[in-house]
Amino acid sequence: MTDLSVVTIGISALRGFHPETTTGSIARDIDALVVGFKKHMTDMHTKVDATQDNWKGDASRAANERALGERLAGNKLAAELEDIATAFRTHGSAMDGYRNAAVKAADDYLYQGFLVADDGTVTVPAGKKDVPGPVPGMTIPMTTEQLSTYATDSSSRVKELIAQFVAEDQKLSQLVGQELQDLTQKANGEEGLGQQQHTIPTTGGRNDPERVQTSAAAFQQMFGRLPTSSTDWATAEILNPTSQDPKYQGVAPVIKVAKIEPVPGQGVVRIGAYIPAEEVFNIPDNDLGDNRAEDPNFDPEQTRVATYIDYENGLVVTRQNPSVTTSGDVAVGSPDVHVQQLPNGSVRIQYDAANAFAPPGSSLSGHTVNGDLVVAPTSGNPGSPRVVAGGTIGDYPSMEIYQDNSAGAGRPVLIDAADSGSKWGPLTNLPFHHEVGGGSSMRDPFEADADITTPDYPATKLGDPSDPPTVNGARR
């Protein structure tokens, strides 16, 4: 939970602020700087290298080696600048999401007839006895105690969104400061700092020998060898067919997989859909949430649904963890996931996962975790060290996407907070969707083929790890 004491901005200020506009402009300026810088370094090396046809000897070789070294050093500096641009994009997008969610939440409570202070405090006006129902003109009666509880929960929700906005702003400031320090060190010929490695975790029970061995065995069953790299271990962890958290009471997750064409250099993309609240509304008993904020090193067990795209080994894995009620019942549903892949390495994931304790008819009403996401290389070419994500996802739950390169260094790709972090989130937000990242247009290349019977990029349904299906690439 975010520390609410750090809140220093109100709803009125948020209404007039659109952070993604500012951070996006900064990122584009940095992009232009990187393009110009790379061109300058490449031109310099090309010109020196071109002299080798007429200039021979030790001095010639030394000059060429120096030019190449400068170009490679320049690439490192450019990578740091790209990381800074990515930080502005990622955290700016997250800030925009929290800003929009906070303003929307405040407006929702105003519409429901509550009073909302600038700091996000929601109070019950005198004489209020009901709230608007799901159908226009319908109202739901509430007692004074129920209204008070609802207002308290609503206050926490709005204040939490404001606090998350402020926290995201602080993260951006800290990250850019660290990246600038790294940039200075690289410019001075020193080793860069600040990279986080995605290795076998050492906290939270994830380093338990039995769990690690089971993960390694699952990886070996899939690939015929033991995991060695950071990418391997990330995939091994999500393939683990057991549940270690005591709340799951030994009930196993449901894991679905499909093989894709490997794209060396793109590492592994980790997608987690999680419930930020400790518990959420359901009938007859509430469900336990994941009770956490976004986490670059999240445990796949601490999600409702996690999907990994392992580009190094050529595998897509979706893991649906068991649902747990506040009365201690445990059950697990089976995710319905379809995957497509383009020749450039882009992967489209269409997913639908239902809570095992969802009331009858939830799938028909849209009360499932579902969406349509595309992960694509930024350059449009396979093997790009950076990917972007976009598409359409549900307003609930929260989603986080990270990319770990083949060496294990991670970076955020997309952070999208649930519209409601309160216990009422699933009830009010699951049926609704919004675009993220590059938006729905990222699906266009997958849908360009008009031949429905024999599409060039057919969707493949994820299957059992013991007999994984293969995602077909272009047939041309």
Mean pLDDT of successive 10-residue stretches along the chain, which has 476 residues: 57 89 88 85 74 68 70 73 83 88 92 93 93 82 92 93 90 83 66 37 65 94 92 96 94 97 92 90 86 89 97 97 93 94 93 83 61 87 81 88 76 78 61 82 78 70 95 54
Pairing of strands 305-310, 287-288: unpaired
Residue 176, SS3 per DSSP: helix
Cβ atoms within 10 Å of 324's Cβ, excluding its own: 23
412 within 8 A of 90, measured Cβ to Cβ:
yes
Taking the C-alpha atoms of residue 217 and residue 237, their distance in angstroms, rounded to an integer, is: 10
Taking the C-alpha atoms of residue 156 and residue 4, their distance in angstroms, rounded to an integer, is: 9
Taking the C-alpha atoms of residue 101 and residue 396, their distance in angstroms, rounded to an integer, is: 12
390: CB partners within 8 A, 6+ apart: 373, 374, 376, 414, 435, 436, 437, 438, 439, 440, 441, 442
Tell me how far CA of residue 29 lies from CA of 53, 89, 180, in angstroms: 38, 12, 16
pLDDT attached to residue 392:
92
This prediction's pTM: 0.58
443 within 8 A of 372, measured Cβ to Cβ:
yes
Q: What is the crossing angle of helices 58-111 and 19-50, to 10°?
A: 170
Sign, Cα dihedral of 464, 268, 170, 116: negative
pLDDT attached to residue 195:
34
Token pair 């799901």 is found at: 134
Tell me how many degrees the CA angle 198-389-222 measures, rounded to the nearest 5: 50
Encoding tokens for residue 296? 């670059």
301 secondary structure, DSSP code: G
Residue type, 100: N
Residue type, 46: T
Beta strands in 147-278 (DSSP E): 254-259, 268-274
Taking the C-alpha atoms of residue 214 and residue 85, their distance in angstroms, rounded to an integer, is: 39
Taking the C-alpha atoms of residue 95 and residue 360, their distance in angstroms, rounded to an integer, is: 36
Encoding tokens for residue 385? 């060290």
Sign, Cα dihedral of 113, 117, 118, 122: negative
pLDDT attached to residue 448:
67
Is the peptide bond between 397 and the residue preceding it cis, with omega within 30 degrees of 0? yes
Is the peptide bond between 141 and the residue preceding it cis, with omega within 30 degrees of 0? no
Cβ atoms within 10 Å of 36's Cβ, excluding its own: 10
Residues belonging to the chain: 476
- H/E stretch holding 410: strand 410-416
Domain boundaries, the chain: 4-175, 201-461
150 within 8 A of 140, measured Cβ to Cβ:
no
Residue 197, SS3 per DSSP: strand
pLDDT attached to residue 86:
81
Taking the C-alpha atoms of residue 219 and residue 234, their distance in angstroms, rounded to an integer, is: 10
Taking the C-alpha atoms of residue 295 and residue 307, their distance in angstroms, rounded to an integer, is: 15
Among 378, 381, 372, 379, which residue's Cα sits nearest to residue 446? 372
Residue 140, SS3 per DSSP: strand
Taking the C-alpha atoms of residue 423 and residue 154, their distance in angstroms, rounded to an integer, is: 10
Taking the C-alpha atoms of residue 2 and residue 169, their distance in angstroms, rounded to an integer, is: 13
330 within 8 A of 252, measured Cβ to Cβ:
no
Sign, Cα dihedral of 447, 453, 456, 460: positive
